[in-house]
Structure 1
Amino acid sequence: MKEYQTITEISGPLVFAEVDEPVGYDEMVEIETPQGETLRGQVLESSDGLVSIQVFEGTGGIDRNASVRFLGETMKMPVTEDLLGRVLDGSGNPIDGGPEIVPDERVDIVGEAINPYSREYPEEFIQTGVSAIDGMNTLVRGQKLPIFSGSGLPHNELALQIARQASVPEEEEGDSAEQSSADHSSGDEPREDDEEGSEFAVIFGAMGITQEEANEFMQDFERTGALERSVVFMNLADDPAVERQVTPRLVLTTAEYLAFEKGYHVLVILTDITNYCEALREIGAAREEVPGRRGYPGYMYTDLAQLYERAGRIEGREGSVTQIPILTMPGDDDTHPIPDLTGYITEGQIVMDRDLNSQGIEPPVNVLPSLSRLMDDGIGEGLTREDHGDVSDQMYAAYAEGEDLRDLVNIVGREALSERDNKFLDFADRFETEFVQQGYDTNRSIEETLDLGWDLLSMLPKEALNRIDEDLIEEYYREEEAETAEVEA
């Protein structure tokens, strides 16, 4: 180890020191204060004779008499299967009162990029139990599907619901998929080890959340038993911003180990990406970098891509890493750099809507601007149900038409509309109050979601179902629903 007492400047979370030997980028550092306290840091920039160090615990207590030791290695995450059920802080240290972690190995948190040639195309369905996602914007193993939310919207409640309900339905033999769904609809926990390699795990990474939010998360995890198959990383709002940059990398390193070494299907939930990007901006300002759009660093796109692109499947490996990053759009502006850049990198988005939330819809997911680019591959033959794609397309088209007609009603009134138009208006209302609305404790199987979709589509005349195969209409169309709709009209 190289040790120096050559600190020249302290700026925010950064310490600058002179060195006489080359120091590696991302190298770990220990800083010992004159009071005997040891703080950890990481080399952020290294040039001839000068290094800048970001200090995880903050720079309080550090002065120019402090000693700087370069450890000669990058930051590593101690990984083991025993991490499941544990709660860690944003630096990977246990905070649940349990024993110290005895790792199987220590892995560099930067990770290794997945060779595109070795990537396996994502096309296997993940059931979240949320109809607006499973039915309309299906999540697929190995996908990165962010949730675009806003300040004050219940994205945390949706994240917790997905964390405790998400499962990989069996799809190998006979009616195993139906059996798995039946287990869900009866309220049973998903079967996690029916066959080798089918275990499911959730890695939950919280960045910059308040203590109150952290308590809510932990109470929910413990109440529902979801903690047993989860690893939780907690970085709080009063923790150093520098730690916020490390937390998602610790999360993803743990996920990669469980997925590619232990065969788990891992769902990674990261909240809030906006807090992470604010930390990037704070560090960039301390380094006196030339800012990019709205003051964020010009390299933010690259930085986010390094996180998001760690999702995927590897050919020949059992496991998978699926990501649901959650971000709050400042001012509900989807052109803000954070959602804008995220949309370029990821494969779609789930959009939460303030108007739906004000109407009491839970979860308030607006399916019209939402999108899952891999949905068609995840609902193919034998993966969910043969009518899934047609039902989704038809409901999307019918709801969009109903939304357009709402604008027209504000001008001319319902009495001026045709009988057909009034049916589409009624469809839009029931779609929100029956299909999207389900509460945060209801776990719907994909069969229940599609059956509910057919109930709603049967309000419309058969000739209006122009996106569904005629054979499927004959099999699933509910005549009694159509008759009820006629009577009500």
Structure 2
Amino acid sequence: MRPHPTLAVYRDIRDIRGDVLRVRAPGAAFGDLALVENPDGTRGLARVIELQRDLVTLQVFHGTRGLSSGAGVRLLGEPLRVACSDNILGRVFSGAGDAIDGGPGLHAEPRVDIAGPPLNPLARRLPQRMIHTGIPMIDLFNTLVESQKLPIFSIPGEPYNALLARVGFQADADVVVFGGLGLMFDDYHFFRHSFEQHGVAHRTVMFINLAGDPVVERLLLPDLALAVAEQYAVQHDRRVLVLLTDMTAYADAHKEIGISLERVPATRGHLGDLYTQLAQRYEKACQLIGSGSLTLLTVTTLPGNDITHPVPDNTGYITEGQIYLHDGVIDPFGSLSRLKQHVIGKATRDDHGQVMNAMVQLYAGAEEARRKQSMGFDLSAFDRRLLSFGERFRTRFMDMNVTLPLTAALDLAWSTMAELFAATELPLRKDLIARYFPADARVSA
């Protein structure tokens, strides 16, 4: 970015700590951009993050290493904006909004403010449609609904990125906006290759912050991704799915900046505004009257597998359920979609709710029978059938490699139950059994 010749240069830098510097500069506005210029001619962008009268605190995008105390600061008088048009589909951007895929420049493209005003609540409507992902443990048991904000809770080492990528290239969304925060290069390559290999790159926008990239970009990236997604949903009437991984890295970046600002931490080093920072991003999810929708699916890793850690704890108060991933599978007991009741049996087949409840109830019985077996108790014939059901449930539904349309998953659920249980043993309504229970079912021992 070229410095404007008429902008004043402020050189009264008070201190430099981490990626943050303070300078005396009147007339600054919160969120505005600034240009930091070293005496040797090198320069970089920064953003106003705190104001105390004329004492301005700036986050320097590319860090303060090598920055001289004699540097000058030009206030540019405008917020950060990101290019947004159909020409950015299929492109890859950094956490500062710069194209990093070697493609053509986007200087002439229309841009949107990443810190735009919130949507009018009266423009929102109740969710009415599901997003089909082809993953039975989501579609059948934890249905993802348009406008929902849903985190994937997991620990490092679990295949949460593989799950997120599958949702990205299998979901029936018009546009997918992907944001990677603090990714390893291998993970970035995996996501990009997955979207290209499955033919969805042309409707995907990627914002990438690698582990070695500036922490400041990690803070900006969710806002960039959500600003683009909101523009597609509101102005272009698109069904937009936003995928972010990992929001714990985002929260840790806020903690790091808080340390630089010498703010008093609240819990485990995180600042007292953690809930607000997370909620401002998650609440962008919405379904609009007469327009498109924005659905948000994120990854939140659990430090030490501690669900009471401030990041998942605050996230749980904001979001509408969670997908709990552990031991390589989606846990049917720890996972929950609070909005699924808006679509189950309404936008889906009428037996969906009953089948979902019956399958989970039988699997709970299978887990209880497995515990009895491990403790040496005698098992009844029904217990042994429950154990067989549990094995088939894990293979046919919980396996992360299984892909099934919802209707096929419902039919498979009926077949699985009919293989081991008589119709009278199932906790299902009689009218549904009459219509869907396989007529040629033979209960196996």
* SS, match of residue 224 in structure 2: helix
1:313 corresponding residue in structure 2: 287
One-letter amino acid of the structure 1 residue matched with residue 435 of structure 2: E
In structure 2, distance between residues paired with 1:448 and 1:224 = 21
Alignment of 1:370-409 (within 5 A): 370-381=335-346, 383-409=347-373
Alignment of 1:85-484 (within 5 A): 85-102=90-107, 104-167=109-172, 200-317=174-291, 319-354=292-327, 357=328, 364-381=329-346, 383-413=347-377, 416-439=378-401, 443-458=403-418, 459-466=420-427, 468-483=428-443
User: For residue 53 of structure 1, what is the amino acid of its counterpart?
Assistant: L
The amino acid of 2:74's aligned partner reads: R
Q: 1:290 to 1:101 in 2, by over 3 A?
A: same
Give the direction of change, closer, same or farther, for the CA distance of 1:374–1:153 in structure 2 (3 Å limit). Answer: same
Deviations 1:151-191 (A, max 9, x none): 100011111111110015xxxxxxxxxxxxxxxxxxxxxxx
Paired residue type of 1:8:
R
Letter in 2 for 1:443: T
How far the C-alpha of 1:480 sits from its partner, in A, is 4.2
Contact residue 43 and residue 53 of structure 1 kept, 8 A: yes
Pairwise CA distance, 1:15: 0.6
Q: Report the alpha carbon displacement of residue 447 of structure 1 after superposing the two structures with TM.
A: 1.0
Name the TM-score, length of structure 2 as normaliser: 0.95
CA distance in 1: counterparts of 2:205 and 2:139, whole angstroms: 24
Secondary structure at 1:88 match in 2 = strand
Tell me if structure 1 keeps the 8 A contact 2:345–2:351. no
Deviations 1:230-276 (A, max 9, x none): 00111000001111000010000000111111111000000011111
Paired letter, 2:433: I
1:140–1:375: 8 Å Cα contact kept in structure 2?
yes
Correspondence 1:5 to 2:6: no
> Which 4+ runs in 1 deviate beyond 4 A?
none
Structure 1 residue 102: Cα displacement: 4.6
Report SS of the residue matched to 2:268: helix
Q: CA deviation at 1:282?
A: 0.3
For the aligned residue pairs, the C-alpha RMSD in angstroms reads 1.4
Deviation of 1:438 (Å) = 4.9
Which of 426-435 and 454-463 deviates more? 454-463
Cα offset, 1:299, TM superposition = 0.3
Q: Secondary structure at the match of 2:250?
A: helix
- Following TM superposition, by how much is the alpha carbon of 1:115 offset from its aligned partner in structure 2, in angstroms? 2.2
Q: 232-241 or 99-108: which moved more?
A: 99-108
The percent of aligned pairs where both chains have the same amino acid is 40
Work out the CA distance in 2 between the residues paired with 1:438 and 1:72.
Answer: 49
* Structure 2 counterpart SS, 1:68: strand
Residues 16-63 of structure 1 deviation map (CA, whole Å, 9 limit, x = unaligned) = 1112x2321111110011221111111111112311101111112211
Give the AA of the match of 2:56.
Answer: V
TM-score, normalisation: structure 1: 0.87
Partners in 2 of 1:257 and 1:117 — Cα distance?
18
- 2:56 match: 51
SS of structure 2 residue aligned to 1:206: strand
For these two proteins, the number of residue pairs brought into alignment is 438
Supply the distance in 2 between the matched residues of 1:248 and 1:112 (Cα, whole angstroms).
16
Unaligned runs of 5+ in 1: 169-199, 358-363
